[in-house]
A and B are shown apart, each in its own frame.
Chain A
Amino acid sequence: MIGQDSCINISGKAAYRVIDNEAMVVAPGSNKLYVFNRVGTRIWEMANGKTGIGEIATAICEEFNVTYEQALKDAIEFAEEISRKGLLEVKS
């Protein structure tokens, strides 16, 4: 369960490149290529294992002009989805 105090970190197994604010991410094992939108890419870039989801949501709401509640909901949903794919590690 990911909450606003959870920290997320890019998996050491993932490979990625950011081009024009869009991250292309590959998960070894599945060999699938995912492309994140600008918000997803910003969350990905802040997934350093130290910054909490709440802090990430604060940055998102400032940069993309959405409410904190919406940014937090989006960030948690995004983190849950890509951690299921093995691309992120979550520290609660």
Chain B
Amino acid sequence: MSISALDKVRDRNIPLNALIELTHRCNLRCCHCYLPADRSLEELHTCQFKEVLDQLADAGTLFITFSGGEVFLRDDFFEIATYAREKNFAISILTNGTLIDEWVADRIESLHPLSVEISIYGADCNLHDGITGVPDSFDKSINAIRFLKERNIEIEIKTSLMKQNVDRYEEIISLADRLKVKYEFNPGISPKLDGSRIPLAYRIDEHELLKIFSDQLLNPVTIETDEEKYHRLDQDELIMCGAGRTTCVISPSGDIFPCIVLRIPIGNISKQPFSEVWHSFEAEKIRDMNYCDLKICNQCELLAYCERCPGIALLEDGDIFGPARFFCKIAEVRRSINEGRLVRINQERR
């Protein structure tokens, strides 16, 4: 994207990216899921989601990610997704893949999605099904990848790294290589949206983080170190994310959030037009957060290495402006790795 277009999107807070949670129903029972067991299952109707898409198009949204729960549990998924394509959105689909057969794969192909991202937690059924809590889910998800791959659809394996699979992530890389698909690992297990800390029991520790962040397959070394990036970016760019600025989330019941983790509702699309919500006082309050508000983080020596998440800070530590302790740990790990890299880079430059 040209700088001018990027600037325009950022300066005018255009919600270029929207994630639409079509449903919170799911056919898997993943142990680390952030959705509470007693979550509301209220969902907008097909025509209401179409209205959401109309309003997002008017607001300038280009990228739509359809997520769940499991999106293919909605009978009207293809009606909604086809409408999104008619409105010229670029769409991506997050799914566990278990409901994708050849017929569904054909219909996905006709949508020309940017990508289909499929959750895989292990390279065999014992590990994967143990995490999802549902027998045969691994085989079904792998079949889905094969069906989609046969149709030249861009696929990415998404893996939450946790205690159960962190020692075996290389096997997932090999699996992805065999299937000729991309992969992405995420160590960011978050509390449930109701504040329950149960999923945190599966979170990996500092030693495991160090191993992951040291793996050059997952973190290719770039010449620009974190320190150099720190000096290049201004403070707000460094520490503030796109939540509520260029990103928004619509829940199954129409609540509008700044991002998937920062669950501060700024309105509901069935009660107010999106444009009104997006320019409301509540939304502006989120956007007004800046570097100066982060009283502890803005003085932190780890700032250059930190990818602080305000949503996790709020959910886990109770203060949107305070440190998110898990990200503090990651920053510590990145600093120690970077210090080693800096020594090597300086030696090579001599």
Chain B residues with CB under 8 Å of chain A are: 1-2, 4-5, 8-9, 14, 57, 60-63, 85, 88-91, 112-115, 152, 154
Contacts and interface: CB of A to CB of B under 8 A. Distances in A.
Interface of A: 12-17, 19-20, 22, 24, 26, 28-29, 31, 33, 35
Contact of B5 (A12, A14, A22, A31): A22
Given A15-B89, A28-B113, A35-B2, 7 more contacts: A12-B112, A22-B4, A22-B8, A24-B1, A26-B63, A28-B112, A31-B114
Contact of A15 (B1, B4, B62, B115): B62
B91 A15 contact: yes
Contact of B90 (A15, A19, A35): A15
16 contacts: A12-B112, A15-B62, A15-B90, A15-B91, A15-B112, A16-B62, A16-B88, A17-B88, A19-B8, A19-B60, A24-B1, A24-B62, A26-B62, A26-B90, A28-B114, A35-B2
A31 B154 contact: yes
Contacts of A35: 1-2, 4-5
Contact of A33 (B1, B8, B14): B1
Contacts of A13: 112
Nearest to A12: B112
Contact of A26 (B14, B57, B114): B114
Nearest to B153: A28
Contacts of A22: 4-5, 8
Contacts of A31: 114-115, 154
A31 B63 CA distance: 11
A29 to B, nearest CB: 7
Contact of A28 (B4, B62, B154): B154
